[in-house]
Structure 1
Amino acid sequence: MNATPLIELDDVRVAFTGGGLRRTKTEVLHGVSLDIRPGETHGLVGESGSGKTTIGRAILGLVPLESGSIRFRGERIDGLRGTRRRALATQVQVVFQDPYTSLNPSLTIGDTLAEPLRAQGMGLADARRRIRELLDAVALPSGAADRLPREFSGGQRQRVAIARALAIRPALIVCDEAVSALDLTTQRTVLELLLSIQKETGVSYLFISHDLSVVRHMSHRVSVIYRGDIVESGDAAVVTSAPSHPYSRKLLLSAPVVDPAAQAERRRQFESEFAGARR
């Protein structure tokens, strides 16, 4: 795998301004640094409110930075606007959490997939050919192009969302809790699809999740975020099985396992390890 980063976040700080008369500002990212390499899945794991989605939104240009920088292929991209931001969108795409709201219900699947292709000036014949390729890539029949989102299950809709993200052959896809709304069987199918696509195309993923087991399955490297700080980063196998930071260990020990005896032992370890921290 190429060790030269595709995207780099350096000391990124993001703050949100609250409502009311005082308009107080609250910092939600406290100097976050991480990088994603070509062809790599970098997992980002943390509990709700930890700041992991904000990192994805910062990469996508949806939230401004207080300070720090984001570079894509060596070029600084934070603060890009207009034509330059739209050009970057061809290289950085997103798959959102909810497959039921991320697709326009009034557009057929074919029209949904055609939108980014037409925006790039692709002709009708080429667009139709690309749509067939995309549907095949996500294991949906070609006839799906003529149907509306409401005719599909959640897992199938998420496949359409993945196809849309792939349409213009991006280098990076931000997967923001991309399987958390799906049942376990469908999750497994979608995850294997993402891995297969990565193997075939070399696309990179920032894989954002609260589920340590899913992150372990998907990622080459993992960063753990806690209250706006990256507290641990490293090889996925190490971070998800023998973490060094107390919060990372908390995530590991609180993750469910199938064996009741192992779950009970894990709960005992969790309570023992963190009893002192509560006092």
Structure 2
Amino acid sequence: MSEVLKVSDLRVGFGRRGLFGKAVEVLHGVSFGIAAGETFGLVGESGSGKTTIGRAVLGLVAPSAGTIVLNGVPIDDLRRRRRLAREVQVVFQDPYTSLNPAMTIEDILSEPLRVHGMERGAAARRVADLLDRVALPADAGRRYPREFSGGQRQRIAIARALSLEPRVIVCDEPVSALDLSTQARILDLLIEIQDTLGIAYLFISHDLAVVRHISHRVAVINKGAFVETGTAAQVTEDPAHPYTRRLLLAAPVPDPARQRERRAERHRLADAAPA
């Protein structure tokens, strides 16, 4: 399969001070590609650099080195970044703050359509299709975000990401603010949409179990570099790197005795890790 998104030797630095100051590099040459209809899972702890990768793909931070190629075209100038804004969309972590509380759902979903020149009647029909796509009732468009549950708001956020028919969606911790049963339903919805539309997902999470549920391939990131990559089954069932094993051991289990053993093993791996 041809790659819709290809990232090569991506480096990002922050914090340059003064005329001769040097930026602190937070991404150290990461590379990956995502094909149409594929989910690439990116997993790591807070501060590992995973969200910075997502922001770079979205054009929200400028790489200090490396290339980002969308459909064979390097995204390296302003004109191409405007194109990126349409073809690469995002679903954020928090469904409670990512939707404007003063706007109706119809206004939220139609806003990007109107910005790109769609007339009002066509936009209204597109909004109806989007609500149906994410399994929300037709009258949802007349209501406000506060009238919906967290899971329903995330469905609205997914509909908004779909509005411009993107090739790639960056899913930045899209279920971490939801309870477990709602998480499963949202993940199943994303899988159903992907099977139907062939969208590529860059799925960012700190939870290996969630990443395994939805991803075809997985990269584990620590301190701005990939420490392990492979299929979802390889990485979660037979991890090669101690950091990946620590992430797996961080998931809670119902047995208190087994949980203590897992915690002790996780601490042992952390103590044995090189500085």
Scaled by the length of structure 1, the TM-score of the pair is 0.92
Which residue matches 1:45?
A: 43
Q: Does 1:250 align with 2:246?
A: yes
Determine the C-alpha separation between the residues in 1 that align with 2:120 and 2:270: 60
Q: Which residue of 1 aligns with 2:197?
A: 201
The CA distance in 2 between the partners of 1:22 and 1:188, in whole Å, is 50
Matched, 1:59 2:57: yes
**Aligned equivalent of 2:73, options 55, 72, 75:** 75
Gaps of at least 5 residues in structure 2 are none
Residues 40-77 of structure 1 show CA distances to partners (whole Å, capped at 9, x for unaligned) of 01000000000000000000111011111111122111
5 Å-filtered alignment, 1:254-265, equals 254-265=250-261
Q: Does structure 1 residue 98 correspond to structure 2 residue 91?
A: no
Equivalent position of 2:133 in the other structure: 137
Q: What is the TM-score with the length of structure 2 in the denominator?
A: 0.93
Identity rate, percent: 60
Residues 1-279 of structure 1 mapped to structure 2, 5 A cutoff: 2=1, 4-17=2-15, 25-77=23-75, 79-81=76-78, 83-277=79-273
SS in 2 for 1:257: coil
Contact 1:241 1:252 in 2 (8 A): no
Q: Distance in 2 between matches of 1:146 and 1:20?
A: 51
1:179-238 residue CA offsets vs partner (Å, 9 max, x unmatched)? 111122221221111111111111111000001110111100000000000111110111
Is residue 174–residue 205 contact of structure 1 (8 Å, CA) maintained in 2? yes
- Higher mean displacement: 119-128 or 159-168: 119-128
RMSD between aligned residues: 1.9
Deviation of 1:123 (Å): 2.3
1:168 is paired with a residue whose SS is coil
Count of paired positions? 275
In structure 1, C-alpha distance between the alignment counterparts of 2:249 and 2:197, rounded to whole Å: 35
* Cα offset, 1:125, TM superposition: 2.2
SS at match of 1:121: coil
Does the CA contact (< 8 Å) of 1:61 and 1:80 recur in 2? no
**Alignment-mate amino acid for residue 151 of structure 2:** G
Alpha-carbon separation, structure 2, partners of 1:20 and 1:121: 43
Counterpart Cα distance in 2 of 1:159 and 1:20: 45
Task: Report the more deviating stretch, 20-29 or 252-261.
Answer: 20-29
